[in-house]
Amino acid sequence: MTTAVNQAMVEKYKGNFLKEVTDNVEEGNWVKMCMQCGVCSGSCPLGPHWDHPPQELFMMIRANKREEVLSSTSMWMCTSCYNCVARCPRGLPITHIMHGLAHYGKRMGMKPKNQPTEKFGQMFWDNLIKKGRVNELKLGLGLYFKDGFAEGVKVSMGKQKLGMNMMKAKRMSPMEILGGHGVSDLSGFHAMLKKAEELEAARVGANTDAK
Amino acid sequence: MAKHEYSYYPGCSSQKGASSSNLEKSVETLCEELDIKLNPIPDWNCCGASIGYAGGGELPRMTLSARNLALSEKHHPDQDVVATCAACWLNTREVQERLNHNPTLKAETNIALQSVKLEYKGNKKVRHMVEVLIEDIGYDVLGSKVKKPLEGLKIAGYVGCQTNRPFGIAGESFENPMYLDKMVETLGAEALTKYDKKVACCSGALMFSEPEKGQALVKDIIESAYDSGANMIVTPCPLCQANVEIYQDDINARYKTNFDMPVMYYSQLMDVAFGRSALDAALNGNIIQSKKLREIADK
Amino acid sequence: MKIGGYLCTGCGIGDRLDTKSLESVAVREGRIGFCKTHDFLCSQAGVDMIKADMAAEGDDKVTKAVIMACSRRAKTESFNFGAVPTARVNLREGVIWIRPEGSEHDETTQEMAADYIRMGCAEVKAMQQADASGEQGKNNHIMVVGGGITGMTAALEASKAGYYASIIEKSDRLGGVMGQLKQRQPEHSPFQNPQDTGVAALIAAVEADDKITVYLNSTIAKTAGAPGRFEVDIASTVGAGTHAEFGAIVQATGFTPYDANNLPEFSYGKSPNVVTQLELEALARAAGDGPIKRADGKVVENVVFVQCAGQRSTKEGHLSYCSGHCCATSIKQAMYFKDSNPDIETTVLFDDIRTPGVGGENFYRSAQDKFVTFRKGKVSTVDVKGNELQVNFKDLILDEDAQMGADLVVLATGMLPNSGTDIDTMKDKDANGEVKVSVESILNLNYRQGPDMPQLVNGFTDSHFICFPYETRRTGIYSAGPVRRPMDAAQAQTDAMGAVMKAIQAIENSAIGRAAHPRSGDLSFPSFRKEGCTQCKRCTVECPFGAIDEDEKGYPKYNEARCRRCGTCMGACPVQVISFKNYSIETVGAQLKAVDVPDEFQEKPRILVLACENDAYPALDMAAMKRNESSAFIRVIPVRCLGSTNTIWIKDALGSGYDGVVMMGCKKGADYQCHFVKGSEMAHVRMAKIGDTLSTMNLEADRVAVHEVAITDIDRAPKLLDEMVEVINRVGLSPFKF
């Protein structure tokens, strides 16, 4: 389901998706500088799993394929290895652009359905927001149960040995389920993030209002 | 007073009972040996890691690291920020650079930080523990501390991604960084410099969401180590360590391999070479043990 | 009057060879005046010894010398004795460095050295001191054909160097194509914005320069003569003609734009809104500081640039090559739009963006920064839809058919060189169906080979583009700018400087009868024995440089200043009447005859190797430096160019008992590396017919091999010699050993 801000963006940019990306996506102002050499695509560890490698995404942006880009699973294949960034002859921060496109697509309500990294990433974010630090045990259990209870029991039984190994090595603590680590100034922490979210939403929203 | 003192950002996975608590423990021991004092940043928070973008926008994610930096600026004004985790270091350093280059983002970040009565200035040096060892301590001193050379260990130095790109250790190349090999040699072990998965990706956080794809990458990383004649992989990165070590059972089942490759931290090797016990080096924190390394530690 | 022999025993020569015996070979068999040894001949003491002998008086005076030491390519400074004929016997690279040590090899190695000494002595006896003919004078005036930026730059550069220039311009104004442009690609950092063409300033500088004369509305009716003495009739469409004399010529005749009427698929001609880049310049100039408008007056809001229109294409009627400037030109033109109004949609549909150099790359980036959209796509058609256009293309990244609307389409069409007539047209040229500009002659040379400069491919003048791009095949006449190869304005101006530099060299060389590149400084020149000449005209046809004309009676007429001293004429002559004083049928023939050919019972074959001194010989030298072992039975004679190889040498060698002959010349063909352009090719053609000679002698065809060898073939060149040894092992020794 697309969002209201999505409608506003479509209206404002009227088919100039490159401009929209430039104005609104994290590091999106770099997209226009791509020279289509394809080194990024060739350097990606999960390259074969991308429907559209970065080079193609950049060309699709120029070709105004807005919906295809924003709803693509491709950006969610990024492992943040920075190989493309290190090698890009034009110096594009491709990893950040991929993160930015994925996040922007989601903000526009166009995230791909049942994309595991999107789901896990959201769980990760929720988990860290809660206490200010990541609770690995809860995150792990959440991951196993992300596709429903029955699937979760199956997955976690399969991972039993791994979990036992980790506990034996004292690298996973069952005590974490009771609370675990966190920042002490939690209310301040939450207020800070809320403010940051507001500021960012306002900035993106302002772009739509300024028609 | 310790000879070297730093403002320390431990990160989530280094906490007690977390996945890289063995890195934390072995670094602690290492710091005792080298007279380094790490002062944890009071009330630090998560850096957002690499996949935070799924939930957090650019600014909220920047604010996370900015809070840590502001806390460090406030509590340890004269100390460099040091991190042991690749992602923690990368995120913190990257946020600092990006905020310092983007006045709008910096201004907005500081508005958000008012909620916690902090101000981010952006004047800190953000360093990786490995940089401290190379630049502040030096290979010579590291070598002089060796009491039990790690003879007989053939080590594939697996640098991975985020300790290497986009910043990397000063003076090293992205495609073939040599510092890990140099460290290994300094400790008296054999560095397998031809190991060709040195800077390959372990799949990072996608190991959790895309296990098949992740394990395929890790399989190559381990296989190449065997091909180079390694009896151990060493890495500076906690996520690399975890991804390469703990799924070997799964990979063996999936690919009919017989992997049993120990994956250690550089800090663990140093602790043992410097004559510290297996316990101090947190060797029991590894799922796959290196008999040879343990023998040297117990000698 | 004596021939002096000087045998060096340094560099291991004395250790490996019996030098006492070699001295006696030189004196008794080589029949030279004396042979002195020195253990370090190239040292000051060694050289002083030789020079003292040459300075002696009366009978003791050494007038010719045989240096028995290292390769002729080593120690060239030390062993340079000016005009004194000197033979170099290569005992180091030619013998001891390619032969293994050990007593079992000593005999054949020693024989090898002795043969080379006999050859050197024979050669020097056949050599005469070379002197200039005195035919030339000096003329400091350069004729520049073409008044575009290439020609104007050439004239100004000539003037700056102290020479005079005359610009011959066909039209009624200076400026050429650049004069029709609104702006040009930036020349200076940061390379971000188009800049003034600079044409007005160039014209002003030319007009203010009193060393430069400009002939507008003028063409060349006739060019005669040679470097240092060109005689030119300048015709005028508005007045009387002029006769003038020049020392050298720069041809900067530029290009003709490709005729876009050949591109109906892009609706050129069907819609006035499909224009070429040059036509867009006219629209941009008409717009001044205002918005660019179409022919119907509509302000352009959406423009699409089609790169490689009718270029880099195998379709009939298209150009196969890249014209070099069009990517940057489209970038510049897109900026005309973007700089006036950033909201104008500008899209460049490209296959490969080619913007070489820092300047080009930064200019490309700057356009991206200005939101010029670059899509990698190949345009198939442009459709006219009422007042609008639709561009249909294949997106090469997304691998799908796509289209976009436009109110103006700009075609990046190519350039065709204004080279004049193709003097080789009669020889099945351009079989690939390239379009050509139909033209009249530009230079109207009265050279026997034709009125214009020879062309290489696609109509561009032949300029030895691989090794010596400023060279041409007409000494003293240099092409510059897009007539030489496709290029942009900045390259054309650099080209103009190079051409003027060559023109000045030609003037200075011809003034004292000295050869130009690559035998710079050579004072020898070809002459012929008239009584033997059959007026067959082979020499006039084969000369790669068109140096030879015919006199009234059909005898060859050499023009020394046009000659490059390659000896191709000498190689071509069926009756062997052409020679140079220091290089002749005799200097090589005497060498191959001086070799001691053992009788067949000794089982010691002899293989003659004729190696081009520019590439093959140094390749063999370098193989020797690597101590690459070679057979003791080879005897190598360097030749100026394989083109100078006369078949008589092959016949003589085979007739006197040599078992095989290997010839090594440079790469021939369209990507030739021959220093004399056509020499190697001519030799290959000539030697293709050697089979007849072999069969009449009842010899196996394998005994003669011709190879193309590059200077980098250090490992391959000696292997080719090994192959001939194999052949002899297989077919047996020659029956002609007496």
**Nearest-neighbour CA in chain A from B141: distance (Å):** 31
Cβ contact (<8 Å) for A63 and C375? yes
CATH of the domain at C708: 3.40.50
Strand partners, C556: C550
How far is residue C436's CA from residue C441's CA, in Å, rounded to a whole number? 14
**C730 and C616 in a common domain:** yes
Question: Do the Cβ atoms of B19 and B275 come closer than 8 Å?
Answer: no
Which of C355, C379, C413 is the endpoint of a domain? Answer: C413
Question: C426: exposed, middle or buried (C-beta count within 10 Å: 0-12, 13-18, 19+)?
Answer: exposed
Query: Tokens representing C145?
Result: 């054909």
**How high is the pLDDT of residue A198?**
95
Task: Classify residue C580: in a domain, yes or no.
Answer: no
**C272 and C240 in a common domain:** no
pLDDT band at C424; cut points 50, 70, 90: confident
**C405 and C277 in a common domain:** yes
Task: Classify residue C385: in a domain, yes or no.
Answer: yes
Q: Where are the beta strands (DSSP E) in C312-399?
A: 345-350, 373-385, 388-395
Cβ contact (<8 Å) for A59 and C364? no
Task: Classify residue C717: in a domain, yes or no.
Answer: yes
**C621 and C736 in a common domain:** yes
Nearest to B203 among A79, A194, A199 (CB): A79
Alpha helices in C189-268 (DSSP H): 199-208
Question: Do the Cβ atoms of C351 and C326 come closer than 8 Å?
Answer: no
**Nearest-neighbour CA in chain B from A116: distance (Å):** 5
- B12 at interface of A, judged by CB pairs closer than 8 A: yes
- Which of B22, B46, B53 to mutate to test binding with chain A, by most A CBs within 10 Å of its CB? B53
**C308 and C204 in a common domain:** no
Which of these, A86, A72, A73, lies nearest to A42 by C-alpha position?
A86
Q: C-alpha C418: how far from its chain's center?
A: 20
Question: C188: exposed, middle or buried (C-beta count within 10 Å: 0-12, 13-18, 19+)?
Answer: exposed
**Nearest-neighbour CA in chain A from C192: distance (Å):** 14
Mean pLDDT of chain C: 95
**C734 and C602 in a common domain:** yes
Instruction: Reply yes or no on whether the pLDDT at A159 is more than 90.
Output: no
**C288 and C176 in a common domain:** no
**Nearest-neighbour CA in chain C from A32: distance (Å):** 6
Task: Classify residue C134: in a domain, yes or no.
Answer: no
User: C268: which DSSP letter?
Assistant: B
**C400 and C275 in a common domain:** yes
C to B contact (≥3 Cβ pairs closer than 8 Å): no
Nearest to B56 among A81, A125, A166 (CB): A125
C88 SS3 class: strand
**C60 and C6 in a common domain:** yes
| Predicted TM-score of the model (pTM) | 0.90
Task: Classify residue C78: in a domain, yes or no.
Answer: yes
Instruction: Reply yes or no on whether the pLDDT at C428 is more than 70.
Output: no
- Which of B20, B46, B120 to mutate to test binding with chain A, by most A CBs within 10 Å of its CB? B46
Subunit partners of chain A (3 or more CB pairs within 8 A): B, C
Q: At what angle do helices B103-113 and B86-101 cross, to 10 degrees?
A: 110
**C423 and C396 in a common domain:** no
Instruction: Reply yes or no on whether the pLDDT at C361 is more than 60.
Output: yes
Cβ contact (<8 Å) for A32 and C364? no
Instruction: Reply yes or no on whether the pLDDT at A46 is more than 90.
Output: yes
CA angle centred on C438, ends C433 and C440, rounded to 5°: 145
How far is residue B253's CA from residue B230's CA, in Å, rounded to a whole number? 22
**Nearest-neighbour CA in chain B from A118: distance (Å):** 6
CB atoms within 10 A of CB B295: 12
Residue B212 vs residues A116, A144, A156, B206, B247: alpha-carbon distances, Å: 12, 15, 16, 10, 11
CATH of the domain at C471: 3.50.50.60
Cβ contact (<8 Å) for A193 and B53? no
**C268 and C401 in a common domain:** yes
- B204 at interface of A, judged by CB pairs closer than 8 A: yes
Q: What are phi and psi of C415, to 5 degrees?
A: -120, 140
Cβ contact (<8 Å) for A120 and B208? yes
Nearest to C402 among A35, A63, A90 (CB): A63
How far is residue C593's CA from residue C606's CA, in Å, rounded to a whole number? 12
User: Mind listing the domains of chain A with CATH numbers?
Assistant: 4-113 (1.10.1060.10), 116-195 (no CATH)
Q: In the Cβ-directed half-sphere of C444, how many Cα atoms lie within 13 Å?
A: 12
pLDDT in tens, B91-125: 999 999 999 999 999 999 999 999 999 999 999 99
Task: State the SS3 of C623-663.
Answer: HHHCCCCCCCCEEEEEECCHHHCCHHHHHHHHHCCCCEEEE
pLDDT in tens, A108-152: 999 999 999 999 999 999 999 999 999 887 777 677 666 666 666
Which of these, B8, B72, B76, B2, lies nearest to B36 by C-alpha position?
B2
Task: Classify residue C359: in a domain, yes or no.
Answer: yes
Nearest to A59 among C353, C371, C398 (CB): C398
**How high is the pLDDT of residue A146?**
66
B to A contact (≥3 Cβ pairs closer than 8 Å): yes
pLDDT band at B33; cut points 50, 70, 90: very high
Number of domains in chain C: 5
Task: Show residues of chain A in contact with B162, CB under 8 Å.
Answer: 80-82
- B288 at interface of A, judged by CB pairs closer than 8 A: no
Mean pLDDT on C535-548: 95
**How high is the pLDDT of residue A36?**
95
Chain C: residue nearest A90 by CA? C365
A to C contact (≥3 Cβ pairs closer than 8 Å): yes
Instruction: Reply yes or no on whether the pLDDT at C163 is more than 80.
Output: yes
Task: Show residues of chain A in contact with B49, CB under 8 Å.
Answer: 124, 128, 134
C406 SS3 class: strand
CB atoms within 10 A of CB C624: 24
Cβ contact (<8 Å) for A171 and B249? no
Query: Tokens representing C509?
Result: 């060389």
Chain B: residue nearest A190 by CA? B115
Task: Show residues of chain B in contact with A46, CB under 8 Å.
Answer: 203, 206, 210, 213, 217
Mean pLDDT of chain B: 96
How far is residue A30's CA from residue A25's CA, in Å, rounded to a whole number? 10
Domain B4-129 bears CATH identifier 1.25.60.10: no
**Nearest-neighbour CA in chain C from A190: distance (Å):** 39
Task: Show residues of chain A in contact with C353, CB under 8 Å.
Answer: 35
Q: Which residue reads 């976690």 in tokens?
A: A156
How far is residue A182's CA from residue A128's CA, in Å, rounded to a whole number? 9
Task: Show residues of chain C in contact with A55, CB under 8 Å.
Answer: 397
Task: Classify residue C216: in a domain, yes or no.
Answer: yes
- Which of B64, B95, B105, B115 to mutate to test binding with chain A, by most A CBs within 10 Å of its CB? B115
**How high is the pLDDT of residue B25?**
95
Residue C540 vs residues A5, C81, C450, C611, C677: alpha-carbon distances, Å: 82, 33, 11, 24, 16
Chain B: residue nearest A117 by CA? B209
Which of C557, C572, C587 is the endpoint of a domain? Answer: C572
Residue B295 vs residues A168, B38, B146, B191, B273: alpha-carbon distances, Å: 21, 30, 16, 19, 12
Task: Show residues of chain A in contact with C374, CB under 8 Å.
Answer: 35-36, 62
**How high is the pLDDT of residue A178?**
64
Cβ contact (<8 Å) for A56 and C398? yes
Question: Do the Cβ atoms of C382 and C389 come closer than 8 Å?
Answer: yes
**How high is the pLDDT of residue C212?**
98
Classify B142-298 by CATH class.
alpha beta
Chain B: residue nearest A158 by CA? B250
Q: What are phi and psi of C478, to 5 degrees?
A: -125, 135
Nearest to A60 among C368, C374, C398 (CB): C398
Which of C413, C441, C459 is the endpoint of a domain? Answer: C413
Instruction: Reply yes or no on whether the pLDDT at C393 is more than 60.
Output: yes
How do the domains of chain B map onto residue ranges?
A: 4-129, 142-298
Which residues, at least 6 apart from B199, have a Cβ–Cβ distance to it below 8 Å? B159, B160, B161, B164, B165, B174, B175, B176, B177
CB atoms within 10 A of CB A119: 18
- B82 at interface of A, judged by CB pairs closer than 8 A: no
pLDDT band at A211; cut points 50, 70, 90: very low
pLDDT in tens, B169-222: 999 999 999 999 999 999 999 999 999 999 999 999 999 999 999 999 999 999
- Which of A30, A59, A61, A90 to mutate to test binding with chain C, by most C CBs within 10 Å of its CB? A59
Complete DSSP assignment for chain B: --SEEEEEE--GGGSTTSTTHHHHHHHHHHHHHHTEEEEEPTT-----TTTGGGT--HHHHHHHHHHHHHHHHHH-TTS-EEESSHHHHHHHHHHHHHHHH-HHHHHHHHHHHGGGT--------EEEHHHIIIIII-HHHHHHT-SS--TT-EEEE---STTTSSS-STT--SS---HHHHHHHHTTPEE-TT-TTTT----TTHHHH-HHHHHHHHHHHHHHHHHTT-SEEEES-HHHHHHHHHTHHHHHHHHT------EEEHHHHHHHHTT--TTTTTGGG-SS--HHHHHHHH-
Sign of CA dihedral A68, A74, A80, A82: negative
How far is residue A88's CA from residue B42's CA, in Å, rounded to a whole number? 38
pLDDT in tens, A59-118: 999 999 999 999 999 999 999 999 999 999 999 999 999 999 999 999 999 999 999 999
**Nearest-neighbour CA in chain A from C184: distance (Å):** 23
| Identity at C264, one-letter amino acid code | P
Q: In what order do the strands lie in the sheet with C34-38?
A: C34-38, C2-8, C62-69, C86-90
- Which of C398, C401, C404 to mutate to test binding with chain A, by most A CBs within 10 Å of its CB? C398
Question: Do the Cβ atoms of A32 and A19 come closer than 8 Å?
Answer: no
Task: Show residues of chain B in contact with A186, CB under 8 Å.
Answer: none
How far is residue B154's CA from residue B229's CA, in Å, rounded to a whole number? 7
**How high is the pLDDT of residue A166?**
80
Nearest to C395 among A35, A63, A90 (CB): A63
Cβ contact (<8 Å) for C368 and A33? yes
Alpha helices in A94-185 (DSSP H): 94-107, 116-131, 136-144, 149-158, 160-168
How far is residue C280's CA from residue C410's CA, in Å, rounded to a whole number? 7
CA angle centred on B151, ends B150 and B152, rounded to 5°: 120
**C191 and C148 in a common domain:** yes
Percent of chain C with pLDDT over 70: 98
C223 SS3 class: strand
- Which of B41, B58, B198, B260 to mutate to test binding with chain A, by most A CBs within 10 Å of its CB? B58
Domain housing C663 = 597-738
Task: Classify residue C319: in a domain, yes or no.
Answer: yes
Task: Show residues of chain A in contact with C398, CB under 8 Å.
Answer: 56, 59-60, 63
Q: What are phi and psi of B6, to 5 degrees?
A: -140, 155
Instruction: Reply yes or no on whether the pLDDT at C435 is more than 50.
Output: no
Mean pLDDT on B134-146: 97
ipTM for the whole complex: 0.95
